[in-house]
Amino acid sequence: MKIPKLTIGNITSNIPIIQGAMGVKVSLSSLSSAVANEGGIGTIASVGLGDIEASKNEYERASREALEKEIRKAKSLTDGHIAVNIMGVLSNADDLVKTTVREGIKIIVFGAGLPLKLPALVEDNSVNLLPIISSGRAAELILRSWDRLIS
Ligand SMILES: Cc1cc2nc3c(=O)[nH]c(=O)nc-3n(C[C@H](O)[C@H](O)[C@H](O)COP(=O)(O)O)c2cc1C
C-alpha cells in the first residue's frame, strides 16, 4: 500500500500520522521521538509537567524547565518531526508557547481554547500553528483574527 506523505506548511512527514498529545507526563520525549523515528509527527504534551501543589510562580518555572528538558531530550533521540501541544486554558500557556519557540520546535498544536492571538506571540513564521477546533465557526474566527494580526 502506498502511504501518502503529510505536508503542513514547511514540514513534510513521511507518514500522515500526528500522534495525539497525552498530558500529565504521558506523551513526552520517549513516545514522541519514537513516533518521529517511524516517520510520523511526535507530540510532546506540555500540560501537567510541573507540580500543581506548588505556588503559581514555582509551577510555571517547573513546567518551563521540564518542557525544555523534554524537547531537548526528544531532539537528541530523533531527527524527525516533533510538535508541542499547548492547551489554551492553562494559566501558563503563553510561557509554554514562548519556551517551545525558543527551543526551536516548528509545530505547535494548540487545543482547549481559541488561539486568536497566537501569531502575535510566535513571531517566527517558520513555526506552524495547528489549532485543534471542532467547528467551521471556530475556524472562521481564528482565520479572521490571524488575518488582522498579520496584515
Ligand atoms: C490520557 C490522555 C491524555 C490526553 N491529553 C491531552 C492533552 O494534553 N492535550 C490535548 O490536546 N489532547 C489530549 N488528549 C486527547 C488526545 O490527544 C487525542 O486527541 C484524543 O485522544 C483522540 O481522540 P480519541 O481518544 O477519541 O481517539 C488526551 C487523551 C488521552 C487519552
Residue 76 pLDDT exceeds 90: yes
Fold of 6-150: TIM Barrel (3.20.20)
Determine if ligand 1 sits within 6 Å of the CB of residue 133: no
Atom of ligand 1 nearest to the CA of 21: 17
* Chain-centre distance for alpha carbon 132: 11
Compute the distance between CA of residue 114 and CA of residue 98 in angstroms, rounded to an integer.
17
Predicted TM-score (pTM) of the model is 0.93
The residues spanned by each domain of the chain are 6-150
Mean pLDDT, range 113-117, rounded to an integer: 93
Compute the distance between CA of residue 129 and CA of residue 125 in angstroms, rounded to an integer.
9
Atom of ligand 1 nearest to the CA of 47: 8
Q: Is the pLDDT higher at 114 or at 54?
A: 114
User: Atom 4 (ligand 1): residue with closest C-alpha?
Assistant: 22
Give tens-digit pLDDT for 42-61. Answer: 999 999 888 777 777 888 99
